[in-house]
Structure 1
């Protein structure tokens, strides 16, 4: 086998494994997300639109429900986050216990790995075509 073929197989395997992990682990941690939603609802009196749609929207909107978490925990200083979330809501998410939120970082780390592998595959196919 050529080095190109080996690297292609490795990237493709990593992509599929991270995608499967993302789906399976996401399904297993839905209860932890629901607990965060209940805490949020108890403190602020409402459930954000993205959390409601993601929870009740089926598979297509499954990843959308955590957009509040993504904005509050990872992209705090972005202008869109400041328009979407209040400072109190950002503080709420940042003050969650590590045990309550660690699943989120693990899940999205797998997503980042899968995305990078997918981009690597696209680049490899581009060079292969030329």
Structure 2
């Protein structure tokens, strides 16, 4: 077996494993998101559109519900975040206990690993074709 083939196998395995982990772990931790959504609704008096749609939108909108979390935790300086989230809402998400939000970081680290593996596969296939 060539080194190239071994790299392809490893990247494919990482991609599939991270995707499977993301889906299974996301389903297991859905209730943790619901707790955060209820806490948000209690503090601000409403449920953001993305949270409401994602919560009852089924599998198709499954990742969409966490867009508020993603924006508030990772992309606070982006213009779109500043237009859709108030500073109080951003602080709400940033001030959540580590135990309340750790599932989110684990889930998205897995998807980043999968995305990087997929990009690595694309690069490897392009190198093979060249």
Number of the residue aligned with 1:98: 98
Please, what TM-score do these two structures have when normalized by structure 1?
A: 0.99
Q: How does 1:7-22 map to 2 (within 5 A)?
A: 7-22=7-22
In 1: Cα distance, 2:92 partner to 2:67 partner: 15
Number of the residue aligned with 1:26: 26
> How far 1:129 moved relative to its partner?
1.2
Number of the residue aligned with 1:38: 38
Deviations 1:30-59 (A, max 9, x none): 000000000000000000000111111111
Structure 2: which 5+ runs fail to align? none
Structure 1: which 4+ aligned runs deviate by more than 2 Å?
Answer: none
> How far 1:60 moved relative to its partner?
1.0
Structure 1: which 5+ runs fail to align? none
Number of the residue aligned with 1:47: 47
Matched, 1:108 2:108: yes
Matched positions, count = 130
Deviations 1:58-90 (A, max 9, x none): 111100000000000011111110001000000
Please, what is the CA RMSD of the aligned residues? 0.5
Please, what TM-score do these two structures have when normalized by structure 2?
A: 0.99
In 2: Cα distance, 1:58 partner to 1:41 partner: 20
